[in-house]
Every structure is written in C-alpha cells, then in structure tokens.
C-alpha cells in the first residue's frame, strides 16, 4: 500500500471496520494460529482516519488483538513467548513514537499540558509492568493474573487516549499538523521498534 504523506494530500478515510480488521491481521502475523478475540473495541471517530489519531488507533487495535491472543496461550509455550515479545516491542515503540510525534507538541500548549502529562506518566507505568512480567516465570499460575492487570491498565490507557486526550488535543492542533505527525510517527515507530529490547526487572509487589 502506498505510504500516505502530507505532500500528496490525498489520504482517504478507511471504513472503521476495515481499519480494525487490518490492525488485527498485523497482530496475527506474530502467531497466525491464535484467535484474536477483541470483541467490540470502544467506538472512536478516529478509527480509519488518515491522520495521526487514526494511525494511533490502528496501533491500539493491533495491541488489543495481541492482548487477546496472549489469553489464548498456555504456560511457557512458543506462542506465548512470541506474542509477549511482540507485545512488549510494539507497546514500547508505540509509546516512544507517540511521545515524539504527538505528546511533545501537545505538552507545549498550556491548554493541553495535563493531557500529555497524563498519557506519558501512564506509559512509564505500563513499561514497568511489562518489565516485571518479562522477569517472571510465564509458566507460573500467577503470570496470567499479573498479565490480566497489565491488560486492564493498557486498555484503560488507550481507551482514555481515544475518548479524552486525543479529542482534547485535536481541538488545539491544525489539520496540517495532525497529517504531518502521522509521517513522523511512522518513521519513529519503525526505528524504535527495531531498537526495542525486552527488559526484565521485577518492580512490583504482589
């Protein structure tokens, strides 16, 4: 598919259902045989949009699928290992690129500083939870329980971005900015993902 750029200015909106299906298909590449039961992801007007927010929601749907796929796995299986590795790299690269492409700009506007600060603070919490999970035995009975905690936290984070922080940020950005930011995000995400490491560090108490 042709990469959309600000220069061509012809990027089209994708139907929401198609955008979601494409995102799930990307997640499934990590373990094609696993079901990705993401159910009805919360509605957002940004799903399928040819701008930064549509691009971010595409990743969020991909992450919803990866989270659901891990729940289909058992013990220390190759599938659980593969999907968890992919999830960690995806989430870290997405968060870093989102900060670089969107939140850094949003933070500079006093009207939206708090929204950006909130999103970035949650990124740190999520990264700590991922490092904690990576350091623990995947075959232990507690692993899935801890994973469920991460899943809740992440779904809350992306739900809040889609329903609150993106909505507020959009009001204060020019439409040329949100198109341009999509290109910045794509470049940064690729580089961040290539460099992403799965850190292992027990950080959380029982």
* CA–CA distances in Å: residue 111 to residues 25, 105, 114, 116: 37, 12, 8, 10
Q: Which sign, positive or negative, has the C-alpha torsion 181, 184, 190, 196? A: negative
Return the number of the residue (66 or 138) whose C-beta is nearest Fe ion: 66
Return the number of the residue (79 or 98) whose C-beta is nearest Fe ion: 98
Return the number of the residue (144 or 159) whose C-beta is nearest Fe ion: 159
Cβ at position 30, least distance to Fe ion in Å: 19
Catalog residues that contact Fe ion under the rule CB under 5 A.
Answer: 56, 98, 119, 161
Cβ at position 85, least distance to Fe ion in Å: 20
Return the number of the residue (80 or 157) whose C-beta is nearest Fe ion: 157
Cβ at position 114, least distance to Fe ion in Å: 15
Return the number of the residue (138 or 166) whose C-beta is nearest Fe ion: 166
Cβ at position 180, least distance to Fe ion in Å: 18
Cβ at position 120, least distance to Fe ion in Å: 8
Read off the tokens for 118: 């909130």
Return the number of the residue (79 or 90) whose C-beta is nearest Fe ion: 90
How many other CB atoms are there within 10 angstroms of residue 141's CB atom?
Answer: 8
Cβ at position 10, least distance to Fe ion in Å: 26
Place of tokens 């299906």: 21
């Amino acid at each position: 598919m042709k990469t959309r750029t600000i220069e061509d200015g012809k990027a089209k909106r994708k139907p929401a259902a198609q955008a979601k299906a494409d995102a799930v298909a990307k997640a499934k590449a990590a373990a094609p045989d696993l079901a990705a039961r993401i159910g009805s992801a919360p509605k957002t007007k940004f799903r399928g949009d040819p701008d930064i927010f549509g691009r971010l929601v595409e990743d969020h749907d991909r992450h919803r699928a990866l989270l659901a796929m891990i729940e289909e796995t058992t013990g220390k299986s190759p599938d659980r290992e593969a999907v968890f590795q992919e999830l960690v790299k995806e989430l870290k690269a997405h968060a870093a690129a989102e900060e670089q492409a969107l939140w850094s700009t949003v933070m500079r506007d006093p009207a939206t500083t708090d929204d950006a600060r909130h999103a970035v603070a949650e990124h740190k919490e999520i990264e700590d939870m991922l490092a904690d999970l990576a350091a623990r035995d995947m075959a232990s009975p507690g692993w899935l329980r801890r994973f469920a905690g991460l899943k809740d936290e992440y779904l809350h984070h992306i739900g809040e971005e889609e329903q609150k922080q993106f909505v507020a940020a959009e009001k204060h950005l020019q439409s040329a900015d949100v198109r341009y930011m999509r290109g910045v995000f794509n470049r940064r995400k690729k580089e961040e993902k290539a460099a992403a490491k799965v850190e292992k560090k027990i950080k959380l108490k029982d």
